[in-house]
Structure 1
Amino acid sequence: MSTTTQITEHQSFSAPTETRSFENGVAEILDIGGAEIGRLTLQPGWHWAEHVKPIAGTDLCEAPHFQYHVSGTLHVKMADGSEFDLGPGDVSSLPEGHDAWVVGDEPVVVVDWYGASAYAKP
C-alpha cells in the first residue's frame, strides 16, 4: 500500500494574498490550492462600465466568472443584450462580454472561483 502526503491549506479573506481597490469596490484575492479565489465587495452606485472599465481598458468585462452571490443584487447585461439580476444564494457562470452594476442600497458580495485572477487588472 502506498501512502501519499496531502497538503492542507487554510486561508481567510481577512488576510488576503492580494487586494485590488477601485472606486466603490474591492477585490480580495486568495492564492490557495493552486488557484486564485476572489471576494468582490461592490458598494451601492458601483457600475463596471464606470469604475472598472478604465482599469481593464475593454468595452465590456472580459473576465469570465463562476460566482456564489452572498449578498446584494447585481444586474448583469450581456453583450447579446440579455439582462438579469443575481442575488443572495445564486450561483452564476458568466462568460466574457458583460457589464454589471449594483441595484439598490445594499453592497454586493460575491465569491468568485474563476475570473478573480484577471479582475480589475490593466
Structure 2
Amino acid sequence: MQTVEHESFGSPTEIREFPHGHAEILNVGDATIGRLVLEPGWRWSNDVKPIAGTESCLAPHFQYHVQGRLGIRMDDGEEFIAGPGDVTSLPEGHDAWVVGDEQVIVVDWFGATDWAKEPAGNVAAHA
C-alpha cells in the first residue's frame, strides 16, 4: 500500500555543491528527485566532469525546465537549447551549459540519484 509523503525543496534531503551551482536532492518514497540550480557560466564539462570522472554525462535524465536556457549537446553531435516549460528526456552521453545571463532551474525526475556525487570507491559516479 502506498503511503502519503510530503517533502519540499525548501529543506532537501541533500545539497550537492559544485562550481557555478548546486543540486538539491529529495528522496520521496522510492524516488530521488533533483532540482538543479545552475548559474551563468556553468557547464557540465567544466564544473561536474571533475566530480564524475567521465568524459561526458552518463546519467540519463527526464527533466522539466523551470527557468533559464540550457544548451545540450549529445555525444552523437545533436545539439539543442531547452527553456522554460520544456521537458527533456536525455540518454547517457551529453554535455550541457547555461545559455545567457539567467540562472537555470531544472527539476530532474530521473537521473539525480548519483548526479554530481563523488564516486564511491572505484565506481564512477553518474554524471
Provide, for residues 2-46 of structure 1, a one-character-per-residue CA deviation record: whole Å limited to 9, x for no partner: xxx641100100100011000001000000021100000000000
Whole-Å Cα distance in 2 between the matches of residues 106 and 56 of structure 1? 25
Whole-Å Cα distance in 2 between the matches of residues 81 and 115 of structure 1? 21
Letter in 1 for 2:18: F
Query: Aligned residue for 2:102?
Result: 106
Provide, for residues 38-72 of structure 1, a one-character-per-residue CA deviation record: whole Å limited to 9, x for no partner: 00000000000000000000000001100000000
Query: Aligned residue for 1:34?
Result: 30
Gaps of 5+ in 1: none
Letter in 1 for 2:53: G
Moved over 4 A (4+): none
Whole-Å Cα distance in 2 between the matches of residues 65 and 36 of structure 1? 12
Q: What is the identity percentage for the equivalent residue pairs of Structure 1 and Structure 2?
A: 65
Query: Aligned residue for 1:57?
Result: 53
Gaps of 5+ in 2: 119-127
Query: What's the TM-score once normalised by structure 1's chain length?
Result: 0.94
Q: 1:6 to 1:82 in 2, by over 3 A?
A: closer
